[in-house]
Amino acid sequence: MIRFKRFIIILLFVLLFTPCGVRAKNDQSAIEDFFEANRSYKNHQFQAAADGYLKLIESGVENGQIYYNLGNAYYRLGDLGRAILFFERARLLLPRDDDLLFNLSHARNQTVDAISDFRTSALRDFLGLDSINLYETFFAFTILNFSFFLLLGIRLYKKSEWSYYLSIVLAIFIGIGGCALALKWYGYSFDDRAVVLSEEIEVRAGPDPGDTALFKIHEGAIVFYERTEGNWALLHLSEDKRGWADAKQLERIVK
């Protein structure tokens, strides 16, 4: 489902305040490009739509709505790898979007390889960090700090029992919020997931075409990118399954 009004509201907010992106060079041009890409999608011109959304991203207007629409365009083109790639990028910004989560799940169910995330964190699950994005976490932490210091300011002039206990509660929440923000920032900054874009790639024992082929992975699989050596990338699939693959055949979710 392509979004129109919701995107325009978000786009205008981004263009005015740019909290998580780079300001577009030409605001009016960006809006026109967005509607042109949507028109192409509606007319089943999916390649033109994808090109239009990519043009928006290259101009600096990046947000979850564009990534979501681009993922849909690639899915209609039969490009499962890039569809999953852009759905995952959209999920970093729109973690609670039901349409996005459904489409991502539907796309991932069509992949050949079932690779689970073996590095799950119980603390992340407990704090519910997968349901909020980095900017929401930072905003909530800022509000907690503002409230705490405002309360301290009030207590300088009027001390009361309720403000004392409330300050303790806020201090506890600030500690939890700081932990959540640190985990969220770390998870985003060191997100080493990558999506396989080619229909099939061979994973080898070393960074050379002559090295032994260990196994194959297929389009849309999400792997863990450890390091590069020349044009080769060392990948993790699980704790005991790793190998080298052509880096040009996959792309990291967080660049």
Instruction: List pLDDT tens digits, range 101-155.
Output: 999 999 999 998 877 766 667 777 778 888 899 999 999 999 999 999 999 998 8
pLDDT at 15: 44
From the CB of residue 170, how many other CB atoms can be counted at a distance below 10 Å?
19
pLDDT at 14 over 70: no
Q: What is the side-by-side order of every strand in the sheet holding 193-196? A: 213-218, 200-204, 241-246, 232-238, 222-229, 193-196, 250-252
- What's the CATH number for 193-252? 2.30.30.40
3-state SS of the chain is: CCCCHHHHHHHHHHHHHCCCCCCCCCHHHHHHHHHHHHHHHHCCCHHHHHHHHHHHHHCCCCCHHHHHHHHHHHHHCCCHHHHHHHHHHHHHHCCCCHHHHHHHHHHHCCCCCCCCCCCCCHHHHHHCHHHCCHHHHHHHHHHHHHHHHHHHHHHHHCCCHHHHHHHHHHHHHHHHHHHHHHHHHHHHHCCCEEEECCCEEEEECCCCCCCCEEEEEECCCEEEEEEEECCEEEEEEECCEEEEEEHHHEEECCC
Identify the residue with better confidence: 79 or 118. 79
Instruction: List pLDDT tens digits, range 24-71.
Output: 445 677 888 888 999 999 999 999 999 999 999 988 887 899 999 999
pLDDT at 25: 46
Least-confidence region, from 2-6, 61-65, 145-149, 228-232: 2-6
pTM equals 0.84
pLDDT at 82 over 60: yes
Regarding the domain with residue range 5-108, which homologous superfamily does it belong to in the CATH classification?
Tetratricopeptide repeat domain (1.25.40.10)
